[in-house]
Amino acid sequence: MNKPTVKIDVISDVVCPWCYIGKRRIEKAISKLNGEISVELEYHPFELNPDTPKDGRNQKQYLAAKFGGDEKYDEITNYVTEVAAEEGLHFDYEKQKISPNTRDAHRIIMSAKAEGKQLATKEAFMKAYFEDGIDLTKKENLIAVAVKAGLDGKKVSEFLDSEEGLAEVVMEEQSYQQRGVRGVPFFIINNKYGVSGAQSSETFVKAIRQVANEMSLA
């Protein structure tokens, strides 16, 4: 008997901490279902702050103003760092100096799908930002992160110098906004069921099993 294949579209942003946490949790769910259900993941762009200037913003100043002051910033970042650690992630807000515009990172991540390297590229960019504190406003850093994920540096450089993929990112973002996606991470299972937020791995397992069962009954 063939394993059912469930498709999950994940809408998220590179600089969204709960998106990285949700990424780990969905991966753990998929691992638990290994041998039972095949899961195909695809990542789609969402810009939390599309108006961020090309050279970025001071991350702490921006988030402190957004959260309501330095004390609130410390409280929220400490909490999310603790939650991330439970999933094996090592957030380091001290290293994160620049909050970038993420459109170019999304362009690279989308284009990597054609080479079968989207998942690795998405992971590389999130790790670069949250754990390594890499400034993703700089072209050379975007290229270096992409190369770590297995992409060709020269091709990525030429890609960034063009406008290739730009319209596609904007169109995808608009498409999901029109479908009602207002916050991320957001998971769409088999283009039918929506799961909002970085739910527990157990919640994802149940949701995927339910969809797979419905497929077998159809």
Strand partners, 193: 189
pLDDT, one tens digit per residue, over 195-210 is 999 999 999 999 999 9
Its pTM stands at 0.96
pLDDT, one tens digit per residue, over 141-159 is 999 999 999 999 999 999 9
Sheet holding 5-12, edge to edge: 38-45, 5-12, 186-189, 193-196
Number of domains into which the chain is organized: 1
Measured CA distances, 96 to 70, 99, 160 (Å): 15, 7, 23
As to burial, measured by CB atoms within 10 angstroms (0-12 exposed, 13-18 middle, 19+ buried), residue 94 is exposed
**Domain that includes residue 105, residue range:** 5-217
pLDDT score of 217: 81
pLDDT score of 35: 84
pLDDT, one tens digit per residue, over 10-63 is 999 999 999 999 999 999 999 999 889 999 999 999 999 999 999 999 999 999
pLDDT score of 218: 67
Centre a 10 Å sphere on the Cβ of residue 65 and count the other Cβ atoms it contains: 13
Q: What gap in Å lies between CA 62 and CA 98, rounded to an integer?
A: 9
Which CATH number do you get for residue 16?
3.40.30.10
Residue 100's pLDDT band (cuts 50, 70, 90): very high
pLDDT score of 1: 55
pLDDT, one tens digit per residue, over 130-144 is 999 999 999 999 999
Percent of the chain with pLDDT over 90: 96
pLDDT score of 119: 98
Residues whose CB falls within 8 Å of the CB of residue 165, separated by 6 or more in sequence, listed in order: 107, 108, 110, 111, 159
- The phi, psi pair for 187, rounded to 5°, reads -115, 130
Percent of the chain with pLDDT over 70: 99
Residues whose CB falls within 8 Å of the CB of residue 44, separated by 6 or more in sequence, listed in order: 9, 10, 11, 12, 110, 172, 176
As to burial, measured by CB atoms within 10 angstroms (0-12 exposed, 13-18 middle, 19+ buried), residue 92 is exposed
pLDDT score of 216: 81
- The phi, psi pair for 200, rounded to 5°, reads -65, 160
**Mean pLDDT, all residues of the chain:** 96
